[in-house]
Amino acid sequence: MKSITRLIFATFTILATFLPAAGTARAQSTTTCADLQNATPQKTLAYLQQDRSTLNPQCIDTALRKLIPYRYMPAIPTLIQYLDFKTLSLARNGQPLGGAYPAATALGQIGELAIPDVKAAVKNESLNRSQRRNAAALYAEGLSQDTPGIIKFLMQASKESKDAQVAFDLIDMATTIANYCPPNIQKQCSDALHGN
């Protein structure tokens, strides 16, 4: 199941390269990236809670990555808002360091305690397509082990979505998961996909 959902997340990560990049800044915050290196989780979160349009994208990347090991629960709502922020940090091979979306990585580290907020993000019409799609992929990939339940949730969220593109993304994700269900739960996956 993990390999299936990793494939799905990788597919949607590739799709995201064609969506507008998030996090471009105009007027810059006075905080430098160096200031964030030794910042506490509280100060790091406070930085991310500023007007995003004034923040330096490299500093956003630094701040999001800094929160990953802390599993800092008060950051969950803010991390949800940054689910569309694509990393600027690349390894020597050109691949993203620790994942293309550092907020998703940080939420994944928080684990099960983030599930209610992540599921709410999938259905939140005020979030953009990338935020909602990444929340769905995060929920499917690492936060839940109930494959038929994941499929059922994604199908329900697609029916409730007012955004046709998001609805399509969710159906596509649910269908892909169902197609790769192990034989011992294939019927439950199919039932979840078809609303049975």
Phi and psi at residue 96, in whole multiples of 5°? -65, 140
78-105 confidence digits (pLDDT tens) = 999 999 999 876 655 666 555 789 999 9
Q: Which residues, 6+ apart, have CB-to-CB distance to 175 below 8 Å?
A: 193
140-190 confidence digits (pLDDT tens) = 987 678 999 999 999 999 999 999 999 999 999 999 999 999 999 999 999
Residue 132 tokens read as: 């909602």
Identify the band that residue 11 occupies on the pLDDT scale cut at 50, 70 and 90.
very low
Cα 146 versus chain centre, distance: 18
